[in-house]
Amino acid sequence: MSKILFENGTVVLGEGRVVDRLLIEGGRVADAGTDAAGAERVDLGGGWLLPGFIDTQVNGGGGVLFNDDPSVATIATIGAAHARFGTTGFLPTLISDTIDKIDRAMRATEQAIAAGVPGVLGIHIEGPFLNPRRRGTHDAAHFTRLDAEKIALLSSLTHGRTLVTLAPEMTTTAHIRELVAAGVIVAAGHSDADYATMRGAFDAGVTGVTHLFNAMSPLHHRKPGVVGAAIENQTAYAGLIVDGRHVAPAALRIALAARPHDRFMLVTDAMPPVGTDADHFVLQGKTIRIEQGVCVEEDGTLAGSALDMATAVGNAVRLLGLDVADASMMASGAPAAFLGLGDRGALLPGLRADLAWLGANFRPRGTWIGGERVAAGASAAASRTATTA
């Protein structure tokens, strides 16, 4: 691989460090003292060079939905669509479905990683171990309980990370501990748990909260619920959908004021329209329409988003008042740490050269995975996301 020198912009390295140029070589970030002679030069045009985005909740993109066809081809299509917006790592996400579909999705993920599909890091299985009272757009007909056979399946991925979202009150702390002991990352979501149950789930090994505030028992002054337990917790990672619609920006700012910023992750919860000009799609037999970057059912129930990570970063700056370094950390460093990926999430010497180039207005300009350019940025027509500035 050749050397590439990025210059004439602002490079966010991670750990709060910012410089004006970056050299990569052999697919890795080069040491500051490395000779740049003979390097290809990339003029950032006054824009931003950030660690590549890592999205832990990606249901679809490029016109396809993982649930519809859990295959290597679908994963590759989703990855290519999101790479145009700076995403260099992602978990294809299967929402509640049959146990057979979960098995197929896990095997497809293994095959995609083995085949070298760019960006795929593992799988997120969101349900079907959820609470019908907080089902959101999930089909409750698929909901079921954990048992030894299902735990064995969820623990069976041979390549990559497995993230499982479940409702703690719909299982036991013993089952949570079994999953964690088997290497599964467990998050709480679509849950009506009370505060004590959520505290117990954290003690049992839950380390994440899926789309904080959405589809979970809210914070009430006498019943703190999942939201209260999550905001009080200083170590668990909480996903945020920052599109101005899923959660009021003021609520997100309150959460940010209460917890370390490096324990929040920007997620898209993206559906098939990302990277397309589609205004609707079908989800498990229901027609979902797109309204200002948000996917909604006919009755107004939110059904994921058409958000991309570049827009999420821009929204975190504009709506939440974060500086770019903090927003970048929430889009890369925090999810990398959550997934235990020690060689990603920052632009420090020796780490993988996963890069997202954004213009000064946060429009995507280019994406590199392992030092190889995989996308030149999205066209204006393809960026149909919830920019709410």
Tell me the pLDDT tens digit for each residue of 203-247.
999 999 999 999 999 999 999 999 999 999 999 999 999 999 999
315 shares a domain with 194: yes
Tell me: pLDDT of 350 over 50: yes
- Find the CATH number of the domain harbouring 294: 3.20.20.140
- Mind listing the pLDDT tens digit for each residue in 26-59? 999 998 778 889 999 999 999 999 999 999 999 9
Sheet-wide strand order for 185-188: 53-58, 87-95, 122-126, 161-166, 185-188, 208-209, 237-240, 264-266
Question: pLDDT tens digits for 112-129?
Answer: 999 999 999 999 999 999
Is 383 contained in some domain? no
CA dihedral 268, 272, 278, 280 (to 10 degrees): -90
Catalytic positions, please? 269
CATH code of 366's domain: 2.30.40.10
Cα 47 to Cα 39, 370, 377: the distances in Å are 20, 21, 13
Tokens of 113: 């990683």
Task: Tell me: do 12 and 105 sit in the same domain.
Answer: no
Max distance between CA atoms of the chain, in angstroms, equals 65
Same domain, 142 and 219: yes
According to DSSP, the β-strands at 4-14 and 17-25 are antiparallel
> Do 46 and 57 share a domain, yes or no?
no
> Could you tell me the sign of the dihedral formed by the alpha carbons of 299, 300, 305, 306, in that order?
positive
pLDDT in tens, 184-209: 999 999 999 999 999 999 999 999 99
Residue 132 located in a structural domain = yes
Q: How many CB atoms lie within 10 A of CB 226?
A: 30
Q: Is residue 131 part of a domain?
A: yes
Range of the domain at 353: 4-50+347-375
pLDDT-derived band of residue 293, with 50, 70 and 90 as boundaries?
confident
Q: What is the pLDDT of residue 387?
A: 47
Q: Same structural domain for residues 186 and 328? A: yes
The answer on 63 and 37 residing in a single domain is: no
The answer on 281 and 233 residing in a single domain is yes
Instruction: Say if 382 falls within a structural domain.
Output: no
pLDDT at 379: 55
pLDDT value, residue 384: 46
Cβ atoms 97, 142 nearer than 8 A: yes
Rounded to two decimals, what is the model's pTM?
A: 0.95
Q: What is the pLDDT of residue 176?
A: 98
Total number of domains in the chain: 2
> Is residue 142 domain-shared with residue 177, that is, in the same domain?
yes
pLDDT tier for residue 377 given thresholds of 50, 70 and 90 = confident
